[in-house]
Every structure is written in C-alpha cells, then in structure tokens.
Amino acid sequence: MSGASARPESGLIDAHVHVWDPSHHRYDWLDGLEIHRPMLPADVDRADGATTGMVFVQAGAARADALAEARWVAGADWPELVAIVADADLLSDADALAEHLDALAALPKVVGVRDNLQNEPVETFTARADGLAELGRRGLTFDACIRHTQLPALIDLLAVAPGVTVVLDHLGKPPVDAGIDSPEGRAWSAGIGELASRPHTFAKLSGLTAESADADAFARNADAFITRVLEVFGAERTMLGSDWPVSATFGVGGPFADWVARVRALVTEADWPEVASGSARRAYLGTP
C-alpha cells in the first residue's frame, strides 16, 4: 500500500456509504453475515478524519422497506451527509414508479436512485428503459451497480436514455484477481472505454477490495484497474468511495484510509481535488 497521505488537501467526499439498522428494516441479504447488526452513521470509517462529506447509497433493504429506509436516513443525525441515492424499482409500472419517486422527492438530500442490477439477468435490463427515462425527466441520477460481465447490457440500456446522469459503482466490479491483461480484464477494459464515451457518465473508485479474494493478487493488479478508469473517464468524472462497511469486511477488506492512499498515489496533484470531491459534487449536487 502506498505511503501517501490519506488526508486530501481540499476535503474528501466519500461517494458510496451504506448504513442500516435491521431492527428498523428488513435486509434479507445480511442473514448469517457478521455485519447483520446496526451499522450507523456514527460508525462509518472516516479515513482517519479525512472525510468531510458522504453520499448514502441504498443498502438493499427489502423492497417494501425502500421508502422507509430513505426516510430513516434523511432523518438521521449525520452531519457529513450531502446526498441520498435511494432505492427504486425501475421495473414498476409507470404509476407506481411515479408515486414512489414523488415520495422520495419530498425527502431532503435525495438526488438519485439505484435499482441494483448486479444479480439481475441481463435480459431484464432493457425493460427498465422507461423507468430510466423517467429519472432523466426528473433530473435524478442513476447509480449503476453491475458485474463486469454485465457491462454490454448496461451500455445497451443507457443508449435509450441519453439524458440521464449515470454513476457506475465499484468500477463495474472488474476481475481483480485475474488481472487487467486476462481475457476478462481486456473485455472489462473495452467496456469501460465504451461506457466512458457516453456523456453525463461518472465512475466510482470504490468496492474493489470486496472483489478480490487474494491479497497478493489485489496488490499486484488493483492499480491497473484504477488507472484505466482515470484514463478514460478523466479526474473530472471519477470519484472516490469507501463502500463501507461492505468493502471493509469482505474480500481482502481494509480501512478506507488505505484505499484513499492507494488512489491518491495514482492521481496528480492538480487532479486530486476532482477525485476527492469535485466529481461527486458535479454528479450528485450539480455544482460546476
């Protein structure tokens, strides 16, 4: 891990944070896991005090609890919270989706939604086209959480809604242990390049530790994936996120300060303010 300081000079927005309380809402995916317990704003890894802002991203509550989860976060004691990316089912019929989005619009700091696609069949992606277009009409962002094999299907889906601002989560979950020069890595690299050519599209440097089961392979391969994203998206469309507590717990894990230091070592002094906070503000808050 790089010895670069984890404290960015201009402050750091953690663009991907999860919190939850299973006593309030149902999280079926947490059953049997060590993190099936309250993970609250006060507990978030703040990168040794570097983090000055945070973006909450929906944490997989049961669909019946999706609106309640967003309301709970909006009402939380969380001084660093700057934006909420709430859950929405883009396969809902138009009336149901509109009602849900109207309810989200009443909450402070809701700027976008995520309909988590990583475990969905790619054949269902295009059925979300109308829902995605509705997000664009409302000025809401869309967080795209996919696995690297789903990149072509995501690109096809986004082609029908060119006006939507899209944020790719976790670098598109690339094949970290196989490496960027593997067949899977080359396919990911090509897909990332094609996705980056789309206007209004951003990428998060987040979630990579959870995609690796081998610390040596991670140390050997991670930088190439980070560098490729920076190369094709540019610093002005690339943001930093912890994916806390998921990426701190699974795969090779590790504290957020280590991840910040790794990314910081790959970014120029001039570009660092963009990656640390500028890109997140531009995507989620609409600042120049």
- In tens, the pLDDT along 40-88 reads 999 999 999 999 999 999 999 999 999 999 999 999 999 999 999 999 9
CB 107 within 8 A of CB 74: yes
Give the bridge partners for 240, in sequence order: 205
144 lies in which domain range?
Answer: 12-285
User: Which pLDDT tens digit goes with each residue over 195-245?
Assistant: 999 999 999 999 999 999 999 999 999 999 999 999 999 999 999 999 999
Q: What's the total number of domains in the chain?
A: 1
Domain-embedded: residue 96:
yes
Confidence at residue 288, expressed as pLDDT on a 0 to 100 scale: 75
Domain-embedded: residue 1:
no
Confidence at residue 1, expressed as pLDDT on a 0 to 100 scale: 30
Phi, psi of 268 (to 5 degrees): -70, 160
Domain-embedded: residue 6:
no
Domain-embedded: residue 168:
yes
| 147: CATH | 3.20.20.140
Q: Which two tokens stand for residue 203?
A: 């990428």
Tell me the mean pLDDT in the region 138-150: 98
User: Which pLDDT tens digit goes with each residue over 246-265?
Assistant: 999 999 999 999 999 999 99
Domain-embedded: residue 17:
yes
Query: Which phi-psi region, left, alpha or beta, contains residue 170 (left: φ > 0; alpha: ψ -120 to 50)?
Result: left
Give the chain's mean pLDDT: 95
Domain-embedded: residue 7:
no
Has residue 113 got a pLDDT over 60? Answer: yes
Confidence at residue 198, expressed as pLDDT on a 0 to 100 scale: 97
Alpha helices in the chain (DSSP H): 66-74, 94-105, 129-138, 151-158, 183-196, 215-233, 246-249, 256-264, 272-273, 279-280
pLDDT band at 10 (very low <50, low <70, confident <90, very high): low
Give the bridge partners for 244, in sequence order: 17
Domain-embedded: residue 91:
yes
Domain-embedded: residue 163:
yes
